[in-house]
Structure 1
Amino acid sequence: MTVPEALIAFSLAAGLLTITPGLDTALVLRTAAAEGARGAALAGLGVVLGCLTWGAAAAFGVGALLAASQTAFDLLRWAGAAYLAWLGINLILKPRDSFATAGPSTMAAGSAAWLRRGFLGNLLNPKVGVFYVSFLPQFTAKGVEPVGFMLLLAAIHALMGVVWFAALIAATRPIARTLRRPAVVQWLDRTTGGVFLAFAARLALERR
């Protein structure tokens, strides 16, 4: 892929992933509804910092390996395609009816507590690490320095998260109601699953 193609493809996939209801979205929605905009903004910032941490770890670790080994590139390509296919099939065949926004009723107060909750909730989720390690290398454009480009992709994903969380916080109640509707949740899951399957097929056929 060329640089523009890689950026467009990654932005589409990452954007769909960002707006699909999950643990991070639930945390920000719940915090905004129960604790207010400030706490939700700090929790969202913590989530974004967790994403950047995973992205940096994937970029520095995987980037050096990709630069040195065609075999490593092929293995990661197939692993990423298989992972995306698995995600897509599960989202299509087993779409959720709802996602829980409820959380513990007792949470530590203060800015650091909300920031830490978002950061650790993301950093300690192994699925996020697997996503970055298998996903970022697949969108590394031809002729670019892998580490720097993957850091750029991670930053793009983080920026999308900032925009999405800001939108959630600004319109907490109507968005929360809409996202709780079973039909909306199922549509988002199935649409994202179809896109992930398309990307999985493309990655499986991709050549370095």
Structure 2
Amino acid sequence: MDHYYLFIITTLLITITPGADTVLVTKNTLVQGKGVGLKTVGGVCGGVAIHIVITVLGLSAIIANSIFVFKIIKYAGAAFLILMGIFTLFSKKSNGTQDTTTSKKIPKGSYFLQGMFSNVFNPKAVIFFMSFLPQFIIPDEHNLLQMMIIGLTPVLITFIWLFFYVNLINYIRAWFNKSSFLSVFQRLTGFILITLGMKLAFEKR
């Protein structure tokens, strides 16, 4: 592999740059706790893995070059973020934790799906992986091994960073675990998710 260290550095910088995934992980960790935050992280990592597989199979090029498919992914991602924002904005809180009525409506596995959908339905990720990964592959030199290493690296970096981030947020949560703070934070993240969704919907390629 050519300049693998550059691949690691670039992937790390992109991973730690805040986006919809970060907002979602932050919200779920602060409001629901470390366990839910880690479930969301697992979903995000699953989304990254899906992007890697799509890129390896060459499907990302088809998606990127098809205006129709690209728009479907873009609007699906925008709708998901907006709906998550609306749900976050209007869900009720009680004593710093989610009320029991709302909790019963959310299956535990849905937090994993939230993280996965947030990442998979991000058209920028499709373009990124399609244009970024091939630059670090040396043709005709153990392509399968290269693909495995290059493919697993973003998943591993994403998991390590978000695992650290969830633990940091969970530590902060112990200091701010008050209904007044969580209520304001919930409203704020709701608005941010809606804004990110609208920005994605109206963004040009």
Which piece of structure 1 moves more, 158-167 or 7-16? 7-16
Structure 1 unaligned residues grouped into runs of 5+? 29-39, 104-120
**Partner residue of 1:96?**
90
CA 1:98 to 1:163, structure 2 compared with 1: closer, same or farther past 3 Å? farther
Kindly indicate whether residue 70 of structure 2 is the aligned counterpart of residue 84 of structure 1.
no
| Displacement after TM superposition at 1:134 (Å) | 2.1
Q: Residue 137 of structure 1 aligns to which amino acid in structure 2?
A: V
Structure 1 Cα separation of the partners of residues 177 and 127 of structure 2: 33
Structure 2 unaligned residues grouped into runs of 5+? 1-6, 101-107, 136-146
What SS does the aligned partner of 1:142 have?
Answer: helix
Aligned pairs for 1:181-192 (under 5 A) are 181-192=182-193
**Partner residue of 2:126?**
137
Structure 1 Cα separation of the partners of residues 157 and 37 of structure 2: 15
Aligned pairs for 1:136-175 (under 5 A) are 136-140=125-129, 142=131, 144-145=133-134, 153-175=154-176
Kindly indicate whether residue 28 of structure 2 is the aligned counterpart of residue 22 of structure 1.
yes
Structure 1 Cα separation of the partners of residues 200 and 154 of structure 2: 16
Structure 2 Cα separation of the partners of residues 81 and 87 of structure 1: 10
Do the aligned residues in 1 keep the contact of 2:82 with 2:194 (CA within 8 Å)?
Answer: yes
User: Normalization by structure 1: what TM-score?
Assistant: 0.56
User: Normalization by structure 2: what TM-score?
Assistant: 0.57
Q: How many matched pairs? A: 171
**Alignment RMSD:** 4.3
Structure 1 Cα separation of the partners of residues 37 and 82 of structure 2: 29
CA 1:195 to 1:131, structure 2 compared with 1: closer, same or farther past 3 Å? closer
**Partner residue of 1:108?**
none
Q: Residue 76 of structure 2 aligns to which amino acid in structure 1?
A: Y
